[in-house]
Structure 1
Amino acid sequence: MKGDLSTLVFTGCETSGCEMSRSRQYDIKRFCFQTWYYDATEGRCSQFWFGGCGGNENKFATQEMCETICVEPPGRGRCYLPRVDGPLRCDQLQPRYYYDYTKKHCVAFWWRGCLGNANNFNSFEECSVFCKDVGPFDEPTTTTVPPPAPQNIQQFAPTPEAQQIDIVSAEQPQQQPQ
C-alpha cells in the first residue's frame, strides 16, 4: 500500500535514500522552504533550505519523519540502515556490530561513541538474533572481530595514578632521524 510506513522504511533505506547526500536545490529563494535530510556523516537528521525542484529521496517534511525512516525505523527496518561510524568529533571508540543486508550477516565495526543510527548492536549475537528474519541469513566465513582502530583517532586513557590523562594516538609513530 502506498504511504505505508513499513514500505517507506523498506524501500527508502534499501534504495539508499538515507545514504544520498542532501538535496542541493535551494537556489530559487522565493520558493525555498525548510525541510529535513539525513546526514550519514553526522548520523542524525538536520534542516536545510530546499528550493522545491529536483533533489532526491533524502528530504523529509519533518524531523520526526526523517528519524523514523533513517535513524530509528520500526521493527526490522533498522537492519537495512547503512553503517554509521559517527562523526569525527566523537572519540570514544567502541567495537560494535551492524547488519549488512548485502552480505546477509552481521559485521564488526568501530563506532565513535555518539550519534549514528539504530543499526548498531553491542554484540554479534544481539545483531544476529535481531536481524536473522530479515532474509536469508548467511553465517560469516571468517571470525567477526572489529578491524584495526581507525587511524588518527585520539583516545584518552587514564594513567595508573588516575590524576593525569595521557593521550594515546592510533597514528603510527614516526621514525626519529639519526
Structure 2
Amino acid sequence: MSKMMPRVSLLLLCLLLATGPALARDCAWDPDVDPDQALDPVSLASGLLQGQNNTVEGSDPRLCREACCQTAGCDLALLGFPMDGLPQCMLVQCVRQGRDMCVYRPSTQFKIYRKKVPTDAETKNQEGGEELRVVPLVVLGETNQTDTIRCRLPMKVGSCRAAFPRFYYDVTNQSCRGFTYGGCDANQNHFESREECEASCSGVTGSVLPDESTPAPDLPPKARRLAPFDSMSDKGVESEADPEAKKTEKAADDFAERCGAEPDGGNCRAAFKHWYYNSKTGSCQTFLYGGCQGNKNNYFTEKECIAACTVKVLPSSKKDAADEVFAEYRDSCMVTSDPGPCRAAFTMFYYDASTSSCQMFTYGGCRGNNNRYGSAEECLSRCSDASFDAHGNPRKHLTTGEFLLR
C-alpha cells in the first residue's frame, strides 16, 4: 500500500495543477461542520452523486480538500476509508438549483470537509451579475399547507432494500408510528425520531392523501448531525420497539400473532440478525431478517423476545362488531378533552357527550386523545350521529333538525 501512495499523491497533484490556482484563492472551510461524519443515505437517495465521475484515490485530507478547491462546483470533500482498498477522496456538489442537498451522519469511516457558504456580497454571478442564494433544504418551524399535506401522506418504505428505523404520521389514528425505511424514494412523511414527527404533525387531521400529492421529500429537520451513522445495526433500536411487545399479559390471539408465528424474513434482501420466539421449544432463537415486512414474531434482541413471549396468556377476548363500534365511538367522542403535555396552543374541538355539542379547547401539540378535531364541522360529523348516549346505551338516530334543537 505504501508503494502506491506516491502515485496517488502525484495524481491528486496533477489534478490541482491542471485546474489552476484561481479557484483555490477563495476556498474557505466551514468550521461548524464536524469532519467526523459521512453523507446520510437520504442524500444519496436524492440523486446527489448520480452521473458524477468524482472519485480519486488518496489518503491525505489536505490534498483532498485542495482537489475540491480546484474543482468547479465542488462543495464538499468526502474522504472514505474502505476496509478492502485504498482511501478514496470524493468531490461532492451539494447545492442543486439553490438547495443544499447534503445531509450528514456521524461516522468513523469517513471524513468530510465542507466549503464555507459565501456571503451575499461574495456570491455575485460573474456572468450575469445575479446573486446566488443558497436556500436551506429544510426551514425549521415553518407551518403551512405543505406541512399539512406532508403529514397526510401514506407511509412509504421505498424501493431500496436497506433497513433504517424511521417514523411517519398516521393521520387516521393521529399518532406517530415507527416503520422500516428501505433507503431511497421516500416521501415527505418521513422523520428521524418520534419527537420530530410529533412536533411537525401533531393535531393534523383529514384523510390519507395519494402519495403523488407532493414532490420529492424535503429532508427531515435536525438530520445533519443527530442520527447515528450505524443506523442499519441493532444498536439503539430496541428503545423504539413496539410497546405491545412489553406487556406482561397477552390475549391468546395476540400471543399467537407475536410469539407463535413462524419466522418470516420478509421480502427485502438485507441480512440482519433478529430473534423470534419458538413456541415448540419455548425459547428465543435467531433468524435472518431481510429488512422489511415479515410478521410480528420479530425482535431486535433476545432480551426483548423473552420479555414479549414469557408472559401470562389470557383467554381470547375478541369483541363482536357492536363492541368494537362502541369502543371506537367512546374513544373519539365520550372521553374528556386532553390538551396533552406539550405547550403549544392550537385551537381544536372536542365532543362533549353530556351536552351533545362540540366545544373549543386549546391543544398543546402532542399526545392527548382521539376526541380532538380540527373544526366544529369535523367534530359534529364524527360524533353527532352516533348510536350511543353519554352512558354507552343505544339511542335513536337524530335528524339534523332534532340535533340542532337540542
TM-score for the superposition, normalised by structure 2: 0.24
Give the helix-richer structure, 1 or 2: 2
Q: Which has the higher contact order (CA 8 A, sep 6+)?
A: 1
Compare CA radii of gyration and give the structure with the larger one: 2
Provide the TM-score with structure 1 as the length reference: 0.48
